[in-house]
């Protein structure tokens, strides 16, 4: 079993995984100001709460969209496992053929999502990752990474209008009973939930036209299960896409 860590702007997801299954997952808030010692204590305790010993792990791998935390978390994991930790980036083999203008600009999270999706689903593939930002990745039928989109995330959008419009409150993201709201809060919830669901449906329609064939559509990220049930197109929710991709990248790069 290895430790796989996905560091997002808002949350960190950590899982124990091997080629057979995912044994546990835990989530913690992303904190750029914690030291490697603080993260080591926190992660060690969370792993032990799930009945495992960090020292028994074969190794670890990190994908992060917060560059400032890469070294901090690498040191923390090496401290509690006693083994080297990989960080997804230049120098690691992924097997992904990236066709964007500057492949070095592609976020490690998008790389790992695509690696996992190619291994698991029929191509071509459209991948939505719904987190702080909503991202889109497009993989063609040959397995090439063509490019994608970056959009404001669901929570970011809701917080923006609440902060900028004095009469609009802060709301939760539970779906309203009706599409057409009859009060301010339900109108905001409907806009957030159904507006984003319609956006996903519309993007898939347009990407399908550009590709010339219908893709497999996969959604991951912390908000996927909030939005996808309200989409009209078939979209596969895969909560563990990132962890599975990290395992694949780890296996491609481990020695011995």
Q: Which residues are catalytic?
A: 109
> For residue 24, with 0-12 CB atoms within 10 Å meaning exposed, 13-18 middle and 19 or more buried, which class applies?
middle
User: 243 a known binding residue?
Assistant: no
Tell me: is residue 162 an annotated ligand-binding position: no
Tell me whether residue 110 is annotated as binding. yes
CB 16 within 8 A of CB 22: yes
- 66 assigned ligand-binding residue: no
Question: Is residue 90 marked as binding?
Answer: no
Q: Is 184 annotated as a binding residue?
A: yes
- Residue 59 annotated in ligand binding: no
Is 7 labelled a binding residue? yes
Neighbours of 92 (CB within 10 A): 15
**Helix 70-81 × helix 36-49 angle, to 10°:** 50
Q: Which residues contact 142 (CB under 8 A, 6 or more apart)?
A: 123
Question: How far from chain centre, in Å, is Cα 213?
Answer: 25
Cβ proximity of 128 and 221 under 8 Å: yes
Q: Rounded to whole angstroms, how far apart are CA atoms 12 and 30?
A: 6
35 has binding-site annotation:
no
Cβ 243 vs Cβ 220: under 8 Å = no
> 246: annotated binding-site residue?
no
13 assigned binding-site residue? yes
Please tell me whether 218 is known to bind a ligand. no
Q: Is 107 annotated as a binding residue?
A: yes
Q: How far apart are the first and last CA of the chain?
A: 16
Q: Which of 198, 199, 200, 178 is nearest to 189 (CA)?
A: 178
Q: Is 131 helix (H, G, I), strand (E, B) or coil?
A: coil
Q: Which residues are annotated as a binding site for K(+)?
A: 129
Q: Which residues are annotated as a binding site?
A: 6-13, 107-110, 129, 132, 184
Q: Which residues are annotated as a binding site for ATP?
A: 6-13, 132
Q: Which residues are annotated as a binding site for substrate?
A: 107-110, 184
């Amino acid at each position: 079993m290895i430790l796989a860590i996905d560091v997002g702007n808002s949350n960190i997801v950590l899982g124990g995984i091997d080629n057979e299954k995912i044994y546990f997952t835990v989530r913690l808030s992303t904190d750029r100001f914690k030291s490697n010692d603080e993260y080591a204590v926190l992660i060690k305790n969370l792993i032990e709460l799930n009945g495992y010993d960090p020292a028994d792990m074969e190794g670890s791998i990190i994908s992060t969209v917060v560059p400032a935390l890469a070294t901090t978390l690498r040191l923390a994991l090496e401290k509690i496992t006693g083994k080297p930790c990989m960080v997804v980036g230049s120098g690691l083999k992924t097997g992904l053929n990236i066709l964007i203008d500057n492949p070095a600009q592609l976020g490690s999270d998008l790389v790992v999502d695509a690696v996992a999706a190619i291994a698991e689903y029929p191509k071509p593939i459209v991948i939505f990752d719904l987190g702080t930002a909503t991202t889109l990745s497009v993989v063609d039928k040959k397995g090439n990474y063509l490019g994608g989109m970056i959009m404001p995330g669901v929570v970011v959008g809701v917080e923006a209008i609440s902060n900028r419009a004095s009469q609009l409150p802060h709301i939760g993201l539970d779906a309203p009973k009706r599409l057409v709201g009859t009060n301010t809060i339900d109108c905001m919830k409907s806009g957030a939930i159904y507006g984003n669901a319609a956006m996903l449906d519309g993007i898939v329609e347009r990407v399908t036209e550009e590709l010339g064939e219908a893709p497999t559509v996969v959604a991951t990220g912390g908000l996927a299960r909030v939005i996808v049930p309200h989409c009209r197109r078939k979209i596969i929710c895969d909560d563990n896409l990132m962890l599975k991709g990290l395992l694949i990248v780890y296996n491609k790069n481990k020695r011995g």
